Structure 1
């Protein structure tokens, strides 16, 4: 690794040298989707950002255990107080777990579309109910939780006697109390700030489990504390999610972890920022949000046309994960051109091989420039995973690749060692780290028709060597040319 890896830690709000607790092993936990609705672009950006972090840590040689949970149990209530998964199940006349499976499958398809790697472990909330009940009991036993009318709540006042609730988000308890309004079940709580660890279910609530406290369901924050510590330990390295999760979700996780184990869980807390459209916050209520499939198809009134998955991935990585990302047709069109420029460079350099036996005539200035650009790719990623800067340096490498293609830069001028470093760095940062794949909109049917037309011309000219060559190439692809009385046709080889 060239230089030290530094990350912004939300706990300190400063950039810190990344030092894993159990080097070379790294534990990373990212809050996953709640599977009752379609995946939104905010999800895609968050999971794409941590996908790059996961990829880069592995590239540097760390042994990473990446855990990303699936929230599949009722804590997200609508305005009527009904669980959203249960409500969706009623509307579609399905079992709640059918809803869960349907949207989990959709989520996986979206992740695959954008070349986002699966985590090492993908636990579900419903699969860890026993562990959640155990943690609730630990919190009760330790004096940080209490039962009230069948529900169990975390006691913020008690917690603040020993710890500091609000340290992650920088919020003060007094300010929070002034801003908090009474919500459903508020009268059961000792303080408006106390949050549910276990919620007594209303009669119409479908997803419910019997416990000594009541028939109910676990609180939202609890599952992540349970699953992160189960698979990564009481202390682990990275915890991530969207900026909207910093408070209250991650704040509550820290409180639960400290209250049950005496340790706060993650060493580094990292958050992706929000999305905007033409400078306005992306929101379904404002009518300016679009789903991933709409962005790809262009089937949305705010979009002039659709964009390929790799164009969208490139677009998102052009901004640092912690900065606001603004969508506009102009920005997406620019990203499309940028991606194609990078893809063309990648296509070229993958096909380049340093000529054997070539006498080197090193141009020191050119060789130094290329090596510096390669170094800068590492420096950029080491600077809090700055993909935007990294892409800028890759474009500088594209210029060198294009110069080789045009003959302005000769292989012997940079030498084999520098060439091989340029090639391996460019391919690794594009494909392995940024996760950008070569993609094309070429139609296989159109290409086949072009080849068959060439075959027809060669046959009419009685150029049988060319006819045999085209037949052999098509056969290698599983296609048989058929000379029919009505013309030339083709079939799959049986």
Structure 2
């Protein structure tokens, strides 16, 4: 196992050495989608980032239980305790059962994640499948005096909790600051304090999704489900809790409060958060008209896109930015990334045909160590990719006869590319599915060589130009003719 992995912990606001509670086992919980609409690119970035983390942890020897929930109830409009359930609202508009909406968008979410070549989580629990666990957690929090019931709804008492704990420990904000910046909302008259949030909400007669509880018919609060499910599958305390940066101020802050109130422990030791997406420097949002769905990105069927981009190229583009940095979508940046992705995968294709020498001009162990160093520094995928471009340069130089490589270093080079391109970054070459293609191209190159030998230069040029039109470039040298993808 490669040691000395460091991760940035939002809870402590610094990088820390990763030390699991019970190695080699690692528990990781990531907040999943609310399945009332198509998954958007911001969500995709988060899940691709945690797929990278999941893959790398497994690669260095950890046995990871990756739990990613599906929110199929309890998430109200505006992320508050008021308004309509997002799924129920969609169901009413479509004149469908809520579970039809849930099924449609859950299937769609999984299909998109598969298209991006993300690994499925170990467990994918749903909020509606864990109502009992959520009710039991509410009971405990009530018994410990950190919640109160009002007319069938149960609220968490933030100010009482903060008297002995730090409610803003994750966000770094104190209670007075939070109170000053919290506006009054409808339904606040039931609450003791403006920051109090619902653990269980009394259902109105027209509410479609409701369950019996000790406090009457109702449904769980959005924050409660993640606390209950992470507790059930990973225990009172586990290693990693993840999600988008937008979840820090409220959702994850409330999760910590619930778990500490119930169990006396902060649920996760390391909190990892991905940053937002922007488009040409502006935050991606429907209101600004600059958002697009994965399908639109693949097809190019959106006014802000000049063309479509393949799923693997889009994955590569997202991994070229560190997960904690803002990622800006723009046509020029995407085009540049597309060229880089093709260059990397073209080099990968050449690996199988490389010949070793008795001597070597390169030391692949040094390059391998740099790749691990990049990933051990808070999963730094952009630095890793830069090192893989250096590996690509070596591959091309060996292929062109400009560098020599011995059998040991060639095997290490193959292992490095397979490990980090395929296993860790999760990339695959979408255009070389046909294993016969290299043989076909070699056959065509031999036909062209024969034409040149016969001084049939017209045919030779026709073959060269024809291959160039379909994306393959021929390169003549004194060692012979080689081909590569453009």
TM-score grouping bracket, smaller chain normalisation: 0.7 to 0.9
| Structure 1 residue 362, shift from structure 2 partner | 3.9
Q: Is the 8 A contact 1:75 1:217 kept in 2?
A: no
1:7 alignment counterpart: 7
d(CA) in 1 for partners of 2:415 and 2:433?
Answer: 27
* C-alpha deviation, 1:92, in angstroms: 1.2
1:88 matches 2:90: yes
Once residues 386 and 432 of structure 2 are traced to their aligned partners in structure 1, the CA distance between those partners, rounded to angstroms, is 25
**Aligned equivalents of 2:31, 2:311: Cα separation in 1:** 23
* 1:461 paired residue number: none
Following superposition, the deviation at residue 247 of structure 1 comes to 1.4
> Per-residue deviation at 1:172?
1.1
Residue 353 of structure 1, CA deviation: 6.0
2:381 corresponds to which of 376, 387, 399: 387
Tell me the alpha carbon deviations over residues 111-169 of structure 1, each in whole angstroms, 9 at most, x when there is no partner. Answer: 00100110000000000000000000000000011101210000111111221101000
Which has the larger displacement, 184-193 or 132-141?
Answer: 184-193
In 2, are the aligned partners of 1:254 and 1:264 still within 8 Å (CA)? Answer: yes
Greater shift, 213-222 or 127-136, is seen at 213-222
Taking the aligned partners of 2:355 and 2:15, their CA distance within structure 1 comes to 41
Secondary structure, aligned partner of 1:209? coil
Alpha-carbon distance in 2 for matches of 1:443, 1:426: 20
Q: Once the two structures are superposed, what CA deviation does each residue of 1:190-220 show, in whole Å capped at 9, x if it has no partner?
A: 0010000001112221111121212111000
User: Which residue of the other structure, out of 397, 416, 432, is the alignment partner of 2:391?
Assistant: 397
Which consecutive unaligned segments of at least 5 residues does structure 2 have?
Answer: 442-486
The 8 Å contact of residues 2 and 60 in structure 2, kept in 1 or not, is answered as no
- Cα distance in 2 between the residues matched to 1:16 and 1:301: 43
**1:170 matched residue in structure 2:** 172
Question: The residue matched to 2:77 in structure 1 has which SS?
Answer: coil
* Aligned residue number for residue 370 of structure 2: 376
Q: What are the residue-to-residue correspondences of 1:243-322 with 2, within 5 Å?
A: 243-322=245-324
What's the CA shift string for 1:303-342, capped at 9, x where partnerless? Answer: 0000000110000000000000000000000111011001
CA-to-aligned-CA distance 1:69-113 (integer Å, 9 cap, x gap): 000003322698221211111111110001001000000000001
Instruction: Point out 4+ residue stretches in structure 1 off by more than 2 angstroms.
Output: 77-80, 352-355, 360-363, 441-444
| 3-state DSSP of counterpart to 2:240 | strand
Give the equivalent residue in structure 1 for 2:407: 416
CA distance in 1: counterparts of 2:336 and 2:62, whole angstroms: 35
SS in structure 2 at match of 1:38: coil
Q: State the match for 1:189 in structure 2.
A: 191
Paired with 2:70 and 2:429, the residues of 1 have a C-alpha distance of 30
Contact 2:34–2:75, Cα closer than 8 Å, also in 1: no
Maintained 8 Å contact 1:2/1:379? no
**1:102-121 to 2 correspondence within 5 Å?**
102-121=104-123
Aligned to 1:220: 222
Normalised TM-score (structure 2): 0.87
Moved more, 87-96 or 378-387: 87-96
The alpha-carbon deviation at position 245 of structure 1 amounts to: 0.5
Whole-Å Cα distance in 1 between the matches of residues 340 and 378 of structure 2?
23
Contact 2:9 2:16 in 1 (8 A): yes
Partner in structure 2 of residue 440 of structure 1: 431
Shift of 1:441: 8.7
Count of residues in Structure 1 that have an aligned counterpart in Structure 2: 438
Change (3 A) 1:442 1:122: closer
Matched-pair contact (CA < 8 Å) for 2:278–2:327: yes
RMSD: 2.1
2:359 is aligned with 1:361: yes
SS of residue in 1 equivalent to 2:413: helix
Return the alpha-carbon distance in structure 1 between the equivalents of residues 130 and 10 of structure 2. Answer: 28
For residues 243 and 338 of structure 2, the distance between their equivalents in structure 1, rounded to whole angstroms, comes to 27
Alignment partner, residue 153 of structure 1:
155
Contact 1:2 1:375 in 2 (8 A): no
1:426 and 2:424 are equivalent in the alignment: no
* Residue deviations 1:157-192 (CA, integer Å, cap 9, x gap): 111122110100011111111111222321100001
Distance 1:271 1:407 in 2: 45
Matched, 1:346 2:340: no
> How far apart are residue 2 of structure 1 and its match?
5.0
Corresponding residue of 2:76: 76
Aligned partner of 1:31 in structure 2 is 31
Are 2:5 and 2:376, in contact at CA under 8 Å, matched by a contact in 1?
Answer: yes
Q: CA deviation at 1:22?
A: 0.3
1:271–1:322 Cα contact (<8 Å) kept: yes
Aligned residues of 1:3 and 1:379 also touching (Cα < 8 A):
no
Shift of residue 420 of structure 1? Answer: 1.1
Q: Distance in 2 between matches of 1:177 and 1:111?
A: 39
Structure 1: tracts of 5 or more residues without a match: 451-494
1:252 & 1:427 partners in 2: Cα distance? 41
Q: Structure 1 stretch 389-398 or stretch 226-235: which is displaced more?
A: 226-235
8 Å Cα contact 2:354-2:398 kept in structure 1: no
Structure 2 Cα separation of the partners of residues 96 and 284 of structure 1: 24
Shift of 1:371: 2.3
C-alpha separation in 1, matches of 2:56 and 2:327: 21
